[in-house]
Amino acid sequence: MIIGDVIVDKYIWGDVHRISPEAPVPVFETKAEETGCGGAANVAQNVASLGGNAILVGVIGKDSEGENLVQMLTETNLVTTKVCIDAERPTSTKTRVIARANTTFTSCEPDSGHHLLRIDRESKQKISPGMRKQLLDTIVSQLPTSDAIIFADYDKGVVNAQLIKDVVKHAQPYGMPIIADPKQNNFWHYEGITAVTPNHTEAGTAVHEEITDVPHLVAVGEKILNQLSLKALLITRDAKGMSLFQRKPDGTLKVEHLPPNSSIVTDVTGAGDTVVAVFTLALAANAEFHNAALLSSLAGGIAVGKMGCATVAPKELLSAIENMEPIPKL
């Protein structure tokens, strides 16, 4: 079950060849547009792509973006009946304006797929108590048939401290893994869940420090692991791979630094969605934390080689496992 902020991702592709005579800004000539599922919806798509049954619980607005999102999810065979409609808020939408590789613009030469601008249309207000109760009722009804929970938290107001507390309380008797991919607002409200998967910037911001080297990373990771009473912490580190933190049976810290698994980085958008989806799906299938992290690292490496919020197919992940040296024991 994926709980969190459902987002529409729009991409506008085009060319920039000159400066506007009206103001010192580039003239962008639109050539193509594409719309996809982002945020919690992208996490759900990644789970479904690898054969999992994804239950998406979130909120959309009563608008055309929300209708389009439901249609896109339905086309990928995802159940959308657990997505609530709130007429008081818009469907979160991120529009990225991207200059194509053939663009020639002398004062600002873009490389392949250069992001010129991102336009956000959203509400970051907390959902109403009534909407929170509606979400919680939906979540509780799905717990008996769920094997794991993911909080896909983008600080858009759907997830809040009370919802997290209530979900953890109701899920506890089932003993299922609860994983969060947190931003900042709720970072310290995930105490007692199984694991969190922040990137290194989010981890540093949470403790009000800028991570400068590996020893500093380890110190920050241990602080988060202890303060949230986690079983594991997975910090993604972009081109440097990821680091897995656990406690050994004797209570000492165990840290594993997994190398990056991406030869080509096209777009990092949504890579964290892929990581948390694969990490949690593996844990739900009774994998150990090490193997779950290894699989998520391989999947993340595949996702960043694709433009936009991408999913990973089983054959792609199997190929990555087969080509990895040494081949992991799964």
Alpha-carbon gap, residue 78 to 55, rounded angstroms = 8
Question: Which listed residue (86, 181, 267, 273) is catalytic?
Answer: 273
The verdict on whether omega for the bond into residue 177 sits within 30 degrees of 0, i.e. cis, is no
First to last CA, the chain: 24
Decide: 174 and 146 in contact? Cβ < 8 Å: yes
Give the single-character DSSP code of 284. Answer: H
Q: Catalytic site residue 273?
A: yes
Residue 171 CA neighbour count, 13 Å, CB half: 27
CA distances from 285 to 43, 135, 147, 288 (A): 17, 26, 8, 9
The SS3 assignment for 26 reads: strand
**Active site amino acids:** 273
